Amino acid sequence: MSSMSRARVARRIAAGAAYGGGGIGLAGAAVVGLVLAEVQLARRQVGNGTLPHVPNAQGLYGPGYATPTEPPLRLTMLGDSTAAGQGVHRAGQTPGALLASGLAAVAERPVELSNVALPGAQSDDLERQVAEVLTGPGPVPDVCVIMVGANDVTHRIPPTRSVRYLATAVRRLRTAGAEVVVGTCPDLGTIELVQQPLRWLARRASRQLAAAQTIGVVEQGGRTVSLGDLLGPEFAANPRELFGPDNYHPSAEGYATAAMAVLPTVCAALGLWPAEEERPDVFRREGFLPVARAAAEAASEAGTEVAAAMPSGPRGPWALLKRRRRRRVPEVEPAPATQSP
């Protein structure tokens, strides 16, 4: 599917989400029956590896930067098993821990990490997770990172519904004062045990949802980073390195790859990135685009960020598309979480 076609589909999904429309089919009715049996087979095969419990990465990162006059930055992870860090053995290998330690190093300030993500969650669980974040003890997080969408695709949730729940979550968090960064739906077509034609359909559905997620998030004042095409080619080339023992969730190296892509956007959302890097770099093919076109391009390219730019243009809202340089972050175990007042 071309970038322009993907942009049109994403725009329709996002519009349906905003105005309460029904689901838009990602595959024609004629192929659904052909795929159903293979979906069930893949579900039985995928995720049957032996996994440890999800490591508890909550706590304080960068305690050496602490000063009496400045409280820690607060980072909260929401979403599904990817946000929780399922598939690795140590807390420091989870995406939340990697982002927290990287953010602490950039900000030269401690970061307190909390995580309300739930393995197996679909986008409709974000309502509960956001309520937990906003009604819990302590201040509202400075920044929230959401990773969600894969389970919506595997459970054939209408994309309009998925985007509606995500956009509502972003709006509630932004209204409360938190910055929001969303890692969009990963490319499920890279899972080894998924065969054709399901592999092709999974890739198409993943990218369509990722593009529609981007539109919904950006329109609510959040930023997105494409995880699909970032992980896709690398997973396909190095599946033994980047997939965990269940051949479904990322390995420690896979999570590190994702964290490297998301960290610069988290820092930029908090105003911690150098000002000169916020301007579009034409040599990196960055620039201002209609939001649907930016979303479609981001869904097809590794680690691409999309953020709101101009509220209106000749073809609706415009966005800034950035291809930020990735920054490697070390694995660090958390110190005990500080007590909220």
| Catalytic (active-site) positions | 81, 246, 249
Task: Kindly give, in sequence order, each residue whose CB lies less than 8 Å from that of residue 64, ignoring residues fewer than 6 positions away.
Answer: none
CA–CA dist 4, 9 (Å, integer): 9
Which SS3 state, helix, strand or coil, does residue 307 take? Answer: strand
Q: Nearest 5°: phi and psi at 21? A: -75, 170
CA–CA dist 283, 280 (Å, integer): 9
CA–CA dist 139, 7 (Å, integer): 38
- Give yes or no for a contact between 10 and 154, defined as CB atoms under 8 angstroms apart: no
Amino acid letter, residue 67: T
Q: Is the bond preceding 197 in cis, omega lying within 30 degrees of 0?
A: yes
Amino acid letter, residue 165: Y
Instruction: Give the strand order in the sheet containing 318-322.
Output: 59-61, 111-115, 73-79, 143-147, 179-183, 223-225, 305-308, 318-322, 287-290
CA–CA dist 136, 196 (Å, integer): 45
> Tokens for 129?
């997770």
Other beta carbons within 10 Å of 233: 12
- Give yes or no for a contact between 157 and 206, defined as CB atoms under 8 angstroms apart: no
CA–CA dist 188, 205 (Å, integer): 9
- Give yes or no for a contact between 88 and 255, defined as CB atoms under 8 angstroms apart: yes
CA–CA dist 61, 74 (Å, integer): 10
